[in-house]
Amino acid sequence: MASVYDFTVKGRDGGDVSLGEYSGKVLLIVNTATGCGFTPQYEPLETMYKELRDKGFEILDFPCNQFAHQAPGTEEEIHQFCTLKFGTEFPQFAKIEVNGENADPLFAYLAAEKPFDSFGKGVKSAVLKKVTSMNNKSFGDKAYIKWNFTKFLIDRSGNVIARFEPTADMKEVRRAVEELLNS
């Protein structure tokens, strides 16, 4: 694959969606969950989306239930939760797996382009490191994503520019998005 825009994913309705539809835009691709300690990140994500979408920015939301079963429910139930609780308007796709033999090829590609480095420092990072090492044992070398709300920043040409773990400060994520939009 030459870029993210070469991938096709499943829409919330189960139909195929070519990421080529987003060609020329800056993307933030995120695996999410509705019952995670990081779920409140939907709020700054939606704020960023509303304020920057007119500049060519899109957030692509991929619910994933592989981390402590924190995204239960159907695509419609997840969508209703996100729109009612956080007012999300950015595109949300079908629930996927991001690790293991059934990992979505998009996320395997993203993780190969920007592999996991660390969760950073602090209490949350230390706790998350311990939890993820237990959770991801079953995925072996296919534990591409360590937890919910891992974010990948994509430039207008479809190149993976940065990876932000769920512990990354959302202000840092926004700064990186704005820099890319303005470059």
- Separation CA 48–CA 146 (nearest Å): 24
pLDDT in tens, 44-86: 999 999 999 999 999 999 999 888 777 878 888 888 888 878 8
Q: 3-state DSSP: the chain helix, strand, coil percent, rounded to 5?
A: 45, 20, 40
Region 120-132 average pLDDT? 70
64 is annotated as an active-site residue: no
Is residue 141's pLDDT more than 80?
no
Signed CA dihedral, 58, 154, 62, 46: sign only: negative
Catalytic residue among 19, 28, 36, 94: 36
What is the gyration radius of the CA atoms in the chain, in angstroms? 15
pLDDT of residue 39: 83
> 3-class DSSP state for residue 34?
coil
Cβ count near 109 (within 10 Å): 18
Predicted TM-score of the model (pTM): 0.89
pLDDT of residue 174: 97
Domain, as residue range, for 156: 4-182
pLDDT in tens, 88-123: 999 999 999 998 889 999 999 999 999 877 777 776
Higher confidence at residue 141 or residue 39?
39
**The CATH number of the domain where 18 resides is what?**
3.40.30.10
Domain count, the chain: 1
First-residue to last-residue Cα distance in the chain: 24
